[in-house]
């Protein structure tokens, strides 16, 4: 013998209640815990892997980076000016601040050493597409540093943060003098 639940002839209240719980408006009110939680452990693990990779291979490329202090989310990077560029023989320090949702968002990267360049402003901010709208989670710290190192020798004067540097770019001799003047003035002020 089969036992069936007692049903009324009017199931409309049950059906109506069922549909109300799963409407888009009702779903929007429910907390999206999986979307808002941040797994800092996986971000930390990724950054540790990137650090190991940099330590193993980057020294010969003229780029390096290490965590600053105890936080894996704040690094200090170094870029050597590329051979044959106006920056050859110069070493630049950068700060890298990784967001908690890295690698889905790019880190904030700034020059800490004074850098005269069309795509670097007086505060060290960098205009580089991969740090903004062209960011990909496939990029890593090494890619960022190498891209900035490449940018030193191949600026984009069409999108300047420093318009004076952009106009001076075509006059190689005067440009190189300004690069060295700002670099060494910055080093003197740091001492």
> What is the rounded CA–CA span in Å between residue 19 and residue 14?
9
- Structure tokens belonging to residue 128: 């580089």
Is residue 190 within 8 Å of 123, Cβ to Cβ? no
Mind spelling out the 3-state secondary structure of 41-76? HHHHHHHHHHHHHHHHHHHHHCEEEEECCCCCCEEE
Helix (H, G, I), strand (E, B) or coil at 168: helix
Which one of the listed residues 43, 47, 127, 168 is annotated catalytic? 127
Is residue 155 within 8 Å of 117, Cβ to Cβ? yes
- Structure tokens belonging to residue 24: 């888009």
Strand runs (DSSP E) across the chain, as ranges? 63-67, 74-80, 91-97, 108-111
Residue among 162, 138, 140 at smallest CA distance from 152:
162
> What is the rounded CA–CA span in Å between residue 160 and residue 151?
12
Annotation says 127 is catalytic = yes
Active site residues: 127
């Amino acid at each position: 013998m089969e036992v069936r639940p007692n049903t009324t002839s009017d199931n409309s209240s049950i059906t109506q209640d069922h549909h109300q719980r799963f409407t888009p408006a009702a779903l929007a009110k429910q907390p999206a815990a999986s979307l808002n939680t941040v797994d800092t452990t996986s971000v930390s693990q990724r950054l540790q892997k990137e650090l190991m990779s940099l330590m193993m291979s980057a020294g010969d490329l003229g780029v390096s980076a290490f965590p600053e202090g105890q936080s894996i989310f704040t690094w200090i990077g170094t870029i050597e000016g590329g051979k044959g560029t106006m920056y050859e023989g110069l070493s630049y320090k950068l700060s890298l601040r990784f967001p908690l949702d890295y690698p889905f968002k790019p880190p904030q990267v700034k020059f800490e050493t004074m850098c005269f360049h069309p795509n670097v402003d007086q505060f060290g901010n960098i205009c580089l597409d991969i740090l903004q709208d062209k960011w990909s989670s496939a990029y890593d710290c090494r890619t960022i540093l190498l891209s900035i190192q490449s940018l030193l020798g191949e600026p984009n004067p069409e999108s300047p943060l420093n318009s004076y540097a952009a106009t001076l770019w075509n006059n190689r001799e005067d440009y190189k003098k300004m690069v060295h003047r700002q670099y060494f003035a910055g080093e003197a002020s740091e001492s």
